[in-house]
Amino acid sequence: MKLKIIALICCLSQLPLAEARCQTVWHITHPDVVGNTNYVFTALAGKGSWVTAAANIRDYSDTTHRPYDWRLAFLRSNDGGESWVEQLPNLPRRRDQSYGWVRQVLQIDSLNVVAIGDTGFVLRTFDGGVTWEQQDCHTKNKTEGIHFSDPLNGILLTAGSTTNWVTADGGRHWDSTRFEGLGYWQGRTSGTGKYQIFSFGHGQLFSTVDNWSTVDSTKLVYDSIADPKFRKVLRSCNFGNDGTNIAYGTNLLGDSIQTPRPLFARTTDKGLTWRDTTFVTPGIGGIGSMTSIASDTVVAGGNTFGKLLISRDRGGSWVADTMLVPDGIQMNYVLGLSINNAGHIVGAFEPAPLPGVAGYLAVGQIPALAVTKLGSDAHAVQLFPNPTSDQLRVRSDSSFRSVHLLDLLGRTMLSGTLDEGGQATLDVASLPRGVYEVMVESRSGMVPVGRVVLVGR
């Protein structure tokens, strides 16, 4: 085997995280309890409008199967996470959640989904979840990462083993790779014989285009000189199609494991150089989940205590976003994230990173500049500040007459008149806190232009 070492230059920085100027506004689309059934969500993934979540569920009213009363379930959405259909694989019930715990879900396309978990656990559907089959990947080790470039070609990586696995028939047969090693937890395939692998911890990329006959590798993202106490731990890596990759994990600042902070390492040249960023904003821990980096907007989370990290430039820079959630709901730990076709965030959450804690599925929207088209003319309406607590300013470059704030039931709660310059200032201090639809009135009628979030006092 020929091993080509690519020189790596790592640029290091430790930056405070910029505070977000707007909040994601969330609504729950699947609660933690339905009837007598608790839902302990463990993973989520999506592709456009198709989203799949995994959960361990328990019906406390069913006494006939005790103590074997835990079941694995999948929740399927075809509308970007707004509604869900429950799917139950034909698997034995369990007395606890120790076996068959799904750690990762991969939404390949609308019909093809694969889920992996502990003890060599691999489940696959080829028909959108109508049927599920448990696949034999010839190992009892914990599965850590999986990727398919299409419904047939995939790679599976395991922990505690020197062997990894590839398939060319959708996982019905898994073959061991000729490139072996410990700590390879995340991989990517772009077709038969073409693979990339990322190593857990200090990070290293390995790639091949000839089924491991030859291998290109980078040096470690961090070495013993850059991180002598091994405080920087890269858990996983998101692979792009153009040489851009984003690895993520935790930086244990100082000498205490009680101070974890988000850690990103980004490359735009296939690992030749990396830019390292550690954020020190209080209340945000390590990163365990990230959306696809196929678009400019990327969202990341983990043990982030009701906050997310959002990038608008494909991981080049990040801001902290405080999630605005319904009263009484805690979404402190992120189990999986996706961005749907509408540009909204879909996520699985739990109140605390503890086994057996029931959680939620939710959809979040980021308020932004609203642009609406009237006939052949485009009219931009600016709403700022957003979120706000006392005043909302409206600015338009068109001949709108008035502006109206409607609650989510469609009731008009406040109205104002735009002056000759197309501007208005609304006093919203007395309105209940929450999300409001903003409408403007033109000669042709009422036009929706966006939403505004009222917070604080």
Give every strand in the sheet of 423-427, ordered side by side: 370-374, 377-384, 391-396, 423-427
Instruction: Tell me the C-alpha to C-alpha distance, in Å, between residue 143 and each of 30, 108, 137, 326, 420.
Output: 27, 18, 10, 35, 64
Which residue type sits at 77? S
173 or 159, greater pLDDT: 173
| Domain segments of the chain as ranges | 2-365, 370-454
Write out pLDDT tens, residues 374-386.
333 335 688 888 8
- Give pTM, 2 decimals: 0.77
Confidence of residue 21 (pLDDT cuts 50, 70, 90): very low
HSE-CB for 426 with a 13 A CA cutoff: 27
Whether 196 and 211 have beta carbons less than 8 Å apart is answered as: no
376 or 174, greater pLDDT: 174
23 or 384, greater pLDDT: 384
Write out pLDDT tens, residues 383-401.
888 888 899 989 886 678 8
**Which numeric CATH code is attached to 2-365?**
2.130.10.10
DSSP-assigned states of every residue in 55-88: EEEEETT--SSTT--EEEEEEEESSTTSS-EEE-
Predicted local confidence at residue 258, as pLDDT: 58
Q: Give the list of residues 6+ apart from residue 409 with CB closer than 8 angstroms, or none.
A: none
Q: Is domain 370-454 annotated with CATH 2.60.40.1930? A: yes
Checking if the pLDDT of 444 tops 70, the result is no
The Cα angle at residue 457 between residues 312 and 322, in degrees rounded to 5? 25
Predicted local confidence at residue 117, as pLDDT: 86
Predicted local confidence at residue 19, as pLDDT: 43
Predicted local confidence at residue 284, as pLDDT: 80
Predicted local confidence at residue 303, as pLDDT: 86
DSSP code for 419? -
Which residue type sits at 80? G
Predicted local confidence at residue 327, as pLDDT: 82
Checking if the pLDDT of 6 tops 70, the result is no
